[in-house]
């Protein structure tokens, strides 16, 4: 998989992909992550990427011309373009599984008050948001998308079942996890996990995932058919 990131702050990405699962996936050539400075596609001596909004108002708006030029220089027939922006559709695990099948993904990090509305149309870009809050720009969301995507690539994880058991993979939160010691300050590991009865363990895990989801994120259960 090839992932290209377009940003006005490429230095923010200098070290972030050199750790953990993403680093190992890059070393195994499972993913090729490239970061591009949007200013390379500007045409004026000041390398301008933003301008004041038509109609007035605070802040600046990212210009359409350099953004489209950058995408057109990087994209090919395999490419899917994603703009990270607060007004985008919420990022879900199901969307990540869909994007993990893409050969070439271009992530565009928005900034300032937003991106000229014409960009999404001209670049055939979809908009995604990582949550209902506002960050200074799309750089951190781009990092989130890359990290979450790489986990889903074949052979990226030492144990493929890890991704299958993650929260949201089956429409629920993950079940609780425990490791040694068996008791810590009076808090004991549930006996069923020590029993060696795998059928009982599986049932306990399913019921805990269900009850925790119902208590913490009940809206997940209303949108999916979950076996109880």
Q: What percent of the chain has pLDDT over 70?
A: 92
* pLDDT reading at 226 higher than 90: no
Set 86, 126, 147, 174: catalytic member: 86
3-state secondary structure of 211: helix
pLDDT given at position 205:
94
pLDDT given at position 117:
96
List the 32-37 sheet strands across, edge first. Answer: 32-37, 2-7, 104-109, 79-90, 125-129
Question: Is residue 151 among the annotated active site residues?
Answer: yes
Set 166, 174, 212, 214: catalytic member: 166
Calculate the average pLDDT of the chain: 92
pLDDT given at position 72:
98
Question: Is residue 113 among the annotated active site residues?
Answer: yes
pLDDT given at position 105:
98
Q: Which of 126, 132, 142 is nearest to 219 (CA)?
A: 132
pLDDT given at position 228:
55
Structure-model confidence comparison of residues 168 and 88, the more confident one: 88
Q: What are phi and psi of 85, to 5 degrees?
A: -155, 150
Give the mean pLDDT of 127-131: 96
Residues of each domain in the chain carrying CATH 1.10.1270.20: 167-222
Set 65, 113, 126, 212: catalytic member: 113
* pLDDT reading at 157 higher than 90: no
- Which tens digit of pLDDT belongs to each residue from 3-28? 999 999 999 999 999 999 999 999 99
Homologous superfamily assigned to 167-222: tRNA(m1g37)methyltransferase, domain 2 (1.10.1270.20)
CATH class name, domain 2-150: alpha beta
Residues of each domain in the chain carrying CATH 3.40.1280.10: 2-150
Choose the weakest-confidence range: 41-45, 181-185, 223-227.
Answer: 223-227
CB contact at 8 A, 1 and 78: no
What is the reported pTM? Answer: 0.88
């Amino acid at each position: 998989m090839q992932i290209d990131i377009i940003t006005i702050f490429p230095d923010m990405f200098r070290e972030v992909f050199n750790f953990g699962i993403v680093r190992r996936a890059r070393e195994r050539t499972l993913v090729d992550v490239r970061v591009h400075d949007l200013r390379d596609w500007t045409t004026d001596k000041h390398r301008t990427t933003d301008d004041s909004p038509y109609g007035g108002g605070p802040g600046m708006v990212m210009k359409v011309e350099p953004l489209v030029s950058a995408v057109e220089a990087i994209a090919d027939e395999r490419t899917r373009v994603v703009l990270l922006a607060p007004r985008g559709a919420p990022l879900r695990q199901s969307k990540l599984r869909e994007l993990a099948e893409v050969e070439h993904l271009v992530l565009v990090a928005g900034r300032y008050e937003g991106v000229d509305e014409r960009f999404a149309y001209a670049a055939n870009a979809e908009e995604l948001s990582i949550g209902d809050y506002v960050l200074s720009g799309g750089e951190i969301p781009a990092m989130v998308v890359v990290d979450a995507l790489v986990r889903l690539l074949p052979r990226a994880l030492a144990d493929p079942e890890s991704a299958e058991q993650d929260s949201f993979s089956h429409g629920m939160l993950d079940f609780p996890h425990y490791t040694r010691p068996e008791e810590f300050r009076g808090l004991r590991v549930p006996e069923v996990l020590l029993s060696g009865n795998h059928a009982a363990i599986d049932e306990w895990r399913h019921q805990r995932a269900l009850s925790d989801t119902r208590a913490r994120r009940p809206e997940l259960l209303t949108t999916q058919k979950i076996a109880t």
